[in-house]
Chains A and B, each alone.
Chain A
Amino acid sequence: DTGVSQDPRHKITKRGQNVTFRCDPISEHNRLYWYRQTLGQGPEFLTYFQNEAQLEKSRLLSDRFSAERPKGSFSTLEIQRTEQGDSAMYLCASSPTRLAGYNEQFFGPGTRLTVL
């Protein structure tokens, strides 16, 4: 399967711990997005990468959050000093870049984080 993959699929942690999620985009997709989805809500944009460059961050991404895409391939999202409000599904999506038209985003299965 060559779709977007995310690891882990589920993570339970205690408040105050650090967690890191990984996203592997579709090969050769140079755009990568992170979204967060809380219970009963739609996904909300967190951040966007074009290759290894992080070009936009939502104000939802507090100082405790950091995302990287070191070689323009996989990406990691780290949350430091987790809080109960961080409990959510974290979704990753990737897309190619074409010269015209919309670049379809393909979503991964998500990582569900529960902070106790």
Chain B
Amino acid sequence: AQKVTQAQTEISVVEKEDVTLDCVYETRDTTYYLFWYKQPPSGELVFLIRRNSFDEQNEISGRYSWNFQKSTSSFNFTITASQVVDSAVYFCALSEANFGNEKLTFGTGTRLTIIP
């Protein structure tokens, strides 16, 4: 069975600080996808990034960066120079790749609060 663990329940940082959200996953599949979603107070899930299990190259997109390490089954997310608008709940998710039901297994989320 697949599982995603986000050990950090809540994080608060002062604006402009960097912050890293941790994600550890478990799966028996060799082919899978990892995701990060943002859920602002409005409730809608906003897709941020997807990585497949064969691509361990780290990625940077503006102030966001992701560190994927298969050796430790981790997919961490860093926000550089945080802003108040980054305040939200962030979810890490996993999908085992199969041609059919690509259901997502989510972690319990990390509530990030950026203090102005």
Complex contact A33–B103 (CB within 8 A): yes
How many A-B contacts if CB must be within 8 Å? 55
Complex contact B101–A48 (CB within 8 A): yes
Q: Is the interface of A mostly helix, strand, loop or mixed?
A: strand
Q: Count the B residues whose beta carbon is within 8 Å of the partner chain — how many? A: 23
Chain B positions 100 through 116: 1 when the CB is less than 8 Å from some CB of chain A, otherwise 0: 11111111110000000
Given the contacts A42-B93, A102-B52, A110 and B103 also touching, CB distance less than 8 Å: no
A89 contacts which of B43, B91, B97, B100 (Cβ < 8 Å)? Answer: B43
Alpha-carbon distance between A33 and B44 when the two chains are bound, in angstroms: 15
Alpha-carbon distance between A33 and B103 when the two chains are bound, in angstroms: 8
B103 contacts which of A56, A89, A107, A108 (Cβ < 8 Å)? Answer: A56
Give chain A residues whose Cβ lies under 8 Å from the Cβ of B42: 109
